């Protein structure tokens, strides 16, 4: 029988993989839409696609920092602490890069979730697109870490 926390990790990794895939698909679509935004007025449907990107960014970041990181901490019997504590632990585990200010990712997520930014959509989408490779990398490194530690095969 599989340990319940390892089973949860496998579920989290599967959900994370799917969330990152959908987020990545949105980034591809949004990059081309943002180029079009400079040439013409985007349709309401196209604007909705850009908004979907920002929502998916927020969900993927939350999933990584609030769910997956906590599950890995539970496996390693580490106290939860704050998000900053978690970020620092994951830097030590070499899942996250030292030179990145992860508060910027979280600040962008908070702007998306808590502020009505309709007038700044292009700026926010551009920032999300800039952070997209980093967010995808973070998940991949977390998965690599779990394999290296033998939590998953």
Mean pLDDT of the residues in the chain: 90
- For residues 75 and 119, what is the distance between their CA atoms, to the nearest angstrom? 43
Per-residue confidence (pLDDT) for residue 10, from 0 to 100: 97
**Topology (CATH) of 4-147:** 1.20.120
Interval 45-90: pLDDT, tens? 988 899 899 999 999 999 998 899 999 999 999 987 888 899 999 9
Q: Would you say residue 1 has pLDDT above 60?
A: no
| CA 115-81-129 angle, 5° bins | 40
Question: What is the distance between the alpha carbons of residues 13 and 63, in angstroms, rounded to a whole number?
Answer: 10
Here the tokens at position 129 are 């697109």
Domain residue ranges in the chain: 4-147
Whether residue 29 is predicted with pLDDT greater than 90 in this model: the reply is yes
């Amino acid at each position: 029988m599989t340990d319940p926390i390892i089973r949860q990790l496998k579920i989290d990794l599967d959900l994370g993989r799917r969330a990152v895939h959908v987020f990545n698909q949105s980034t591809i679509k949004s990059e081309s839409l943002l180029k079009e935004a400079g040439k013409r007025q985007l349709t309401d449907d196209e604007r909705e696609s850009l908004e979907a990107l920002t929502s998916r960014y927020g969900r993927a970041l939350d999933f990584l920092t609030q769910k997956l990181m906590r599950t890995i901490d539970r496996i390693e019997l580490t106290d939860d602490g704050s998000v900053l504590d978690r970020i620092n632990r994951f830097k030590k585990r070499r899942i996250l890069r030292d030179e990145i200010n992860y508060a910027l990712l979280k600040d962008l997520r908070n702007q998306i979730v808590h502020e009505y930014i309709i007038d700044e959509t292009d700026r926010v989408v551009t920032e999300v697109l800039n952070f997209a490779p980093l967010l995808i990398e973070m998940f991949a490194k977390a998965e690599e870490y779990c394999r290296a530690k033998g939590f998953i095969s």
